[in-house]
Amino acid sequence: MSELEPGKAFQIASKFCFPRLSGTQGEVEAQKIAKRLFENIGLKPLEDEFQASYLMINFFARIALFPFGLFLLLAGIFYQHRKPFFSLSFFLLGLSFGLGFALYCQSSPKFLGWRKKHWTKNIFACLESENAKQNVLVVAHYDSKSQIFPGWLRVLVYYLGGFFSLAISLLGIYLCFDLWKNQIFHHLALEAIIFAGLVDFLPLFNRTANNSPGAVDNAGALGVVFELARIFKEKPLKHTRLWLVLTGAEELGLIGAREFVEKHQAELDPQKTFVINLDGLGSGYKICALSRLGFPGKKTSSQLNHLLYQIAERKALRFKMIRASIGFSTDAYHFLKKGYQTISIGCLSRYVHTPKDSVEKLISQNLDDYLDVLIELIAHLDKKQ
């Protein structure tokens, strides 16, 4: 195996640390850098073009909880006026349509809208094997974005808005029956209903912009991908076709990953394909992986996660499993939906989606640790064949 060069992943990552929102000139520059890096390694970069839109991230993601909040406020108004039948009706609408709509938006629906579309692309390269019996995909998105809310606050708002609104709706149903039968009115409950409804309106103010250098999200992962490409180009795998996949428009609703899966699933048998998604590398001093994505959730591969844990333990590296809930997802989602054995490596930094996600936030040693673990993980999968 070719030697790991300490600090090389960080050097490559630093080349991508500038705002590169999909549809902007920054994204075009990132595409040029990616293709040039593949060519310098001796690989032919391939491209899949597709259309993307801001509709998902600037409309559906922002109004995901709005119907739930609106129904809660209407239920609260009728509850305040001692109208239990109408109040109950709106609580039930919140539980059905409001919650359903929020989960629908969380699922990254394929709906680009009718205007403001733009062309972007996935960029990938393949390292062939003379006796390829399986595929291993290493996936990382190359676009970035900033938002008014940092990533941690967006997740918190969805937690409060989703779970708290659900709990308040169930409580509200009980309150309506209590008011109906016993004529008992609860003032504190009314305040909780109003609070939950107003929290659901907060995502409306979380507009997307192009002010984040996107170092942790996701330049660090790009540095690791290109180092993996160099290492396995110099020392090819024996039984594995290795795909290095850079997806576009991830920040607009996982659009690039969905397009890649739909275009290539005929040549990627789920029974013979492993997917390793990289998102949020370089922000700490431990190895992190996601156990589950979304709500109620897609479970990542327990087999691959266990292998990852064993390798990290042998190397005396700290390891942590994280569950990603509503309000946060990665490219791994669409591969999981199609039945691929998939893991998502990395974790959320408090600077993600802000102008502060700069190259200074990347920890070179952490990128080297991820790279070291991934080299052994991929080599282990190759030897199993």
Total-model pTM = 0.93
| Averaged pLDDT in 10-residue chunks for the chain of 385 residues | 84 98 98 98 97 90 94 96 95 94 82 77 95 95 93 81 91 93 88 93 93 97 98 95 97 95 95 97 92 81 96 96 77 94 90 94 96 97 85
Q: What's the CATH number of domain 8-53+118-147+209-383, 3.40.630.10, 3.40.190.10, 3.30.160.270, 3.40.50.2030?
A: 3.40.630.10
Q: Which residues of 325-345 are buried (b: 16+ CB within 10 A; e: fewer)?
A: bbbbbbbbbbbbbeebbbbbb
pLDDT recorded at residue 204: 94
Whole-number Å distance between alpha carbons of 166 and 109: 22
For the chain, the structural domain boundaries read 8-53+118-147+209-383, 60-110+150-205
pLDDT at 326: 62
| DSSP H or E stretch at residue 52 | strand 46-53
Beta strand 273-278 with 134-141: parallel, antiparallel or unpaired? parallel
Predicted pLDDT at 163: 86
Q: What is the pLDDT of residue 28?
A: 98
CA 202 distance to own-chain centroid: 21
State residue 290's pLDDT score. 93
The answer to whether 258 touches 329, Cβ cutoff 8 Å, is no
* Predicted pLDDT of residue 2: 58
Rounded Cα distance, 188 and 194, in Å: 10
At 130, give phi and psi (nearest 5°).
-65, -30
Q: Which amino acid is at 105?
A: C
Residue-level pLDDT at 112:
64
Q: Given this model, what pLDDT does residue 130 score?
A: 83
pLDDT at site 25: 98
292 in Cβ contact with 358 (< 8 Å): no
Query: Going by C-beta distance under 8 Å and a sequence separation of 6 or more, which residues neighbour residue 248?
Result: 22, 27, 31, 50, 52, 120, 121, 122, 123, 141, 142, 143, 255, 256
